[in-house]
Structure 1
Amino acid sequence: SQLYACLNDLPEETIPVVWIAFKTGLRISDILGLNQDCLIQLNGKYSIITDIEKTFVKGHRIPIDEELADILAVLIQHSIKNSNKDNNPERYIFIRYQGVRKGKPFNQKTIRDHLNKLAHKNKILDENGDVFYFKSHQFRHTYAVKMLNGGADILTVQELLAHASPEMTLRYAKLLDDTK
């Protein structure tokens, strides 16, 4: 809640990365690898479709709400408008159009640094009263615990997170017990 109270203080390109992480549980690396074909609509419902790098899952689909679909549609249109074969050959939506990283997506470390600068500047505190230190994987944990607290079964959460085994997802079930 502290983060979302000052979310607009983040650099403009970081805000949608945070929203996608929060609403999908995708790893930051997978978000930064989204391309212009990632948004699909089936039977009136929107999803993100992407390949999951860590677990080698191809065509992973995550349902999303219309608000996030609208954000993605704007990002995709911006990418299409500003891209060519030279500056964005992979058709990423989070892309550097110039400089030494031209044609490459944003860097995970940059996103994490933006979040931690925001935490320091806005005094986002942890449960001990210390400045909170963001790690990009925390959005996945938040998403999983939110799903489990909302009544989703462990196999559904496993599928949405593209975990290779239920044992990986069970780590979040322990967090669920701690939050009861």
Structure 2
Amino acid sequence: MYTGMRISEICNLKMVDIDLENRRISVVGKGNIYRRIPLREDVVYMMKEYVEQEREKSKFADSEYLIVTQRSAKMDRTAMLTWFWRLSAELGFRIYPHKFRHTFCTRLIQLGVPILTVSKLVGHSSPQMTARYYVKIGMNEKLHAIHLL
């Protein structure tokens, strides 16, 4: 939710890609686009907690990947989707990994973050790609624009 990462980027995130001291992660995403994502303090705290407590209990604690499962040294896309499906059933409404990415982009744009910055954060090939998927102009925005004249 606070990184805008794709599911495959999360599954492929390695321990060496994480710099908790400087609060950032390095990601190689779709199209081999490299980016650094700054981390909020609360995300750093949760990651430290996961690594020091949950991950340490795993027989795969020495894995090079951040997220491990009970059966594997690396969380894969199918396992993550299954986990979200089970969580959705438990909660009574549908959630899925890409919804978090979508929310990340939409909220940043709504908060006035420049589209170029959002594009760089999520690893889109261009700001136009970000705008195409996440910039929604409603009637209120159009009405406000007209009243500026």
The TM-score range, normalised by the shorter chain, is 0.7 to 0.9
**Which string of whole-angstrom CA distances, capped at 9 and with x for unpartnered residues, describes residues 92-118 of structure 1?**
0112464xxx43x21222222222333
**Identical residues among aligned pairs (%):** 25
Residue matched to 1:27: 6
Name the structure, 1 or 2, with higher relative contact order (CA <8 Å, separation 6+).
Answer: 2
CA 83–119 in structure 1, closer or farther in 2 if over 3 Å, else same: closer
Alignment of 1:122-133 (within 5 A): 122-124=91-93, 132=94
Measure the CA separation in 1 of the matches of 2:100 and 2:77.
Answer: 13
* Contact kept in structure 2, 1:36 and 1:80, CA below 8 Å: no
Residue matched to 2:23: 46
1:117 to 52, 74, 86: 86
Runs of at least 5 residues in structure 1 that lack an aligned partner in the other structure: 1-21, 125-131
* Contact kept in structure 1, 2:118 and 2:130, CA below 8 Å: yes
- The answer to whether the aligner puts 1:152 opposite 2:129 as a matched pair is no
CA 106–141 in structure 1, closer or farther in 2 if over 3 Å, else same: same
- The answer to whether the aligner puts 1:67 opposite 2:42 as a matched pair is yes
SS for the counterpart of 1:61 is strand
* Contact kept in structure 2, 1:39 and 1:72, CA below 8 Å: no
Measure the CA separation in 2 of the matches of 1:173 and 1:74.
Answer: 32
**What is the aligned-residue RMSD (CA, Å)?**
2.6
Between Structure 1 and Structure 2, the one with more helix by share is 2
* Contact kept in structure 2, 1:39 and 1:73, CA below 8 Å: no
Residue matched to 1:170: 131
Measure the CA separation in 1 of the matches of 2:100 and 2:65.
Answer: 21
- The answer to whether the aligner puts 1:161 opposite 2:122 as a matched pair is yes
Instruction: Quote how far apart the aligned CAs of 1:77 are.
Output: 4.0
- The answer to whether the aligner puts 1:94 opposite 2:67 as a matched pair is yes
In structure 2, what residue type is equivalent to 1:33?
A: N
**Which string of whole-angstrom CA distances, capped at 9 and with x for unpartnered residues, describes residues 54-89 of structure 1?**
12023x2111111111222233445578544xxx3x
Instruction: Tell which structure's C-alpha radius of gyration is larger.
Output: 2
Runs of at least 5 residues in structure 2 that lack an aligned partner in the other structure: 142-149
Q: Normalization by structure 2: what TM-score?
A: 0.76
Q: Normalization by structure 1: what TM-score?
A: 0.64
- Name which of structure 1's ranges 145-154 and 115-124 shifts more when overlaid on structure 2: 115-124
Measure the CA separation in 2 of the matches of 1:155 and 1:169.
Answer: 8
* Contact kept in structure 1, 2:20 and 2:44, CA below 8 Å: no
SS for the counterpart of 2:25 is strand
Measure the CA separation in 2 of the matches of 1:50 and 1:173.
Answer: 21
* Contact kept in structure 2, 1:145 and 1:172, CA below 8 Å: no
Alignment of 1:101-112 (within 5 A): 102-103=72-73, 105-112=74-81
Paired positions, count: 137
